[in-house]
Amino acid sequence: MTRTLPVLVPFFFASVLVGPWWVSIGVGILIASLSQRYIPLIFGGMLMDMLFGAPIPAFFDFSFLYTAMFTLIAICAFYFRDRILE
């Protein structure tokens, strides 16, 4: 479980920089499910918003979509890990 994390976090940040959004989300979900370290997810979302974020009129010009999405993934992983495993 913790052996894969040193490989996944750099791959996650590389996918944030040069990969498509669906690869970043998939690796982010994988990191959230395999470890209890959620900070790289939130930093990855902030990095995606700084690089590629734009105000979305359908969401009332909300421009932090990836940060909100990765924060929601981290909160759901924390909640489900707490409820299912214990």
pLDDT of residue 52: 83
Write the pLDDT tens digit of every residue in 21-54.
899 999 998 888 888 888 888 899 899 888 887 7
Between residues 58 and 4, the one the model is more confident about: 58
Write the pLDDT tens digit of every residue in 49-85.
888 877 777 778 788 888 898 999 989 988 888 788 6
Bridge partners of 56, per DSSP, are 62
Q: How far is CA 49 from the centre of its chain?
A: 12
